[in-house]
Amino acid sequence: MKYNFDEIVPRENTDCLKYDIRKETFGRDDIIPMWIADMDFKTPPFIMKAICERVEHEILGYTQKCGKWLPAIQYWAKTQYGWDVDAEYIEHVSGIVPAISFAVQCLTEKGDNVLIQPPVYHPYFHVPEWNERTVVTNPLKLVDGQYEIDFDDFEAKAKQCKLFLLCHPHNPGGRVWRREELERMAEICADNNVIVISDEIHADMTFKGFKHIPFATVSEKARMNSITMMAASKSFNIAGLMSSFTIIPNQQLRECYNGFLMKSELNHAHIFATIATAAAFSDEGAEWLGELVDYITANVDYMQQFIAENMPLLDIIRPQASYLVFLDCRKLNLSVEQLKDFCVNKARIAMNEGSTFGVEGTGFMRMNVGCPLSTLKQALQQLLEAYNEFINK
């Protein structure tokens, strides 16, 4: 590989959430942090170069969006997904979760129903609830080791809702939704006047053998009834720069949403946000990303094989995209608190507890394998020691 993903980069004492609040969050700091969804790899050198060149100007005054930003997003959408996106469809937003919150606020009223598909990224629960909306769930079904959609339930629930939050690819399950699934969701939502918010932040890290299809591209109904939300933050490890964007082809929907942002100047980007995204969405970025996905895939392969050979009571839902792995611990027959204690105090690993993604995630833990293989090996060895002690007690 051209890039070295095996390098250990110390992150302690850098105000890093993943490392520096371990004791506060888990009660101890001698644990391997594999929870918050950023990676332990260096941000790519071409992004750092672009940022450093701007810093060297030595004036950090008011700025507009980087001139390369819009063309870079259009280029990325076309080369990665075959999607021709007009520049006027694109707007900056500071992050996907804020972007979802803005959608909830401007497209629904207090008391309206918002549809989600648990187990799913926990802000999908919190954001509507914090904004005094009602969450309606269409639980995913675990079939042969992968999550599937209960479409009968989906259609029944959609008729009650104003907004649908689609996690695409899915977090924490790692599912890459197929075209026919997207088409069917689009049809149901359009026919029932349910606007679709498609969170596609993990799209760039789709594994080989799978294809990410932007929701808005599957049909005219999908295009005219959705807001797509994307970012380079997960795939290029720049989450701290708060740089995301929306794509809204429907003019009426775009004017409503972007008008909401404009009223509070929420569409403004800080000085490095758009520079970093422009540098990421390039041919050099595509090369780096290809190597990253290969490395992450190898990490998942190693984890799956290690668990299968050594810990038969555990299993994983094998992701089709991203570096997040949902670890199935249900056969241990532990309560939520007992499972947390097992992982934190016995295995000494910090992971996201499954029930935070909905009751359907109870008995699971989400492990972040976006790290050097040596870190993953150490974590799995500690997990094995705790597992053996548990089995033999």
CATH number for the domain that contains residue 205:
3.40.640.10
> pLDDT at position 70, please?
98
Q: Is residue 3, in this structure, part of any structural domain at all?
A: no
Rounded to whole angstroms, the Cα distance separating 317 from 364 reads 10
240 and 145 both lie in a single domain: yes
Whether residues 275 and 291 share a domain: the answer is: no
Run of H or E residues at 369: none
Q: Domain check: are 264 and 131 in the same one? A: yes
How many domains are contained in the chain? 2
Contacts of 197 (CB under 8 A, 6+ apart): 100, 103, 163, 164, 165, 166, 226, 227, 229
173 and 259 assigned to the same domain? yes
In angstroms, rounded to a whole number, what is the distance separating the alpha carbons of residues 341 and 160?
A: 39
What the block records as the tokens of 184 is: 């069917």
pLDDT averaged per 10 residues in sequence order, the chain, 393 residues? 96 96 97 98 98 96 96 98 98 97 98 98 98 98 97 98 98 98 98 98 98 98 98 98 97 97 93 97 98 98 98 98 98 97 98 98 98 98 98 90
**Which whole-number Å values give the CA distances from 16 to 39, 235, 260, 303, in the listed order?**
11, 18, 32, 25
Tell me, what CATH number does 349's domain have? Answer: 3.90.1150.10
Residue 103 lies in a domain: yes
**Best CA proximity match to 167, nearest among 358, 38, 371, 295:** 358
Using the 3D structure, point to which of 234, 252, 282 is the last residue of a domain.
282
Q: Do 37 and 111 reside in the same domain of the chain?
A: no
Pair 353, 369 in one domain: yes
How far does the chain reach from its first CA to its final CA, in angstroms? 44
Residues 6+ apart with CB under 8 A from 68: 275, 278
User: Which of 282, 310, 325 corresponds to the end of one domain?
Assistant: 282
Whether residue 40 is found in the same domain as residue 155: no
Residue 54 CA, chain-centre distance (Å), reads 28
Q: State the burial class of residue 202 (Cβ atoms within 10 Å of its Cβ: 0-12, 13-18, 19+).
A: buried
* 92 shares its domain with 151: yes
**Given 282, 297, 332, which residue is the final one in a domain?**
282
In a domain, 296, yes or no: yes
Q: Are 214 and 75 members of one domain? A: yes
Q: Do residues 363 and 223 share a domain?
A: no
Secondary structure element (H or E) that encloses residue 250, with its range: none
CB–CB of 222/215 below 8 Å? yes
Q: What is the pLDDT of residue 1?
A: 83
Same domain for 208 and 91: yes
Give the structural domain span for 93. Answer: 62-282
Q: Are residues 39 and 94 in the same domain?
A: no
CA distance 43 to 95: 18
The tokens 């029932």 sit on which residue? 192
- Residue 293: the pLDDT is 98
- Residue 393: predicted pLDDT: 82
CA 211/CA 377 separation, integer angstroms = 29
Question: For residues 349 and 385, is the Cβ–Cβ distance under 8 A?
Answer: no
Residue 333 inside a domain? The answer is yes
Residue 4 is assigned to a structural domain of this protein = no
**Do the domain assignments include residue 92?**
yes
Contacts of 121 (CB under 8 A, 6+ apart): 167, 171, 172, 199, 357
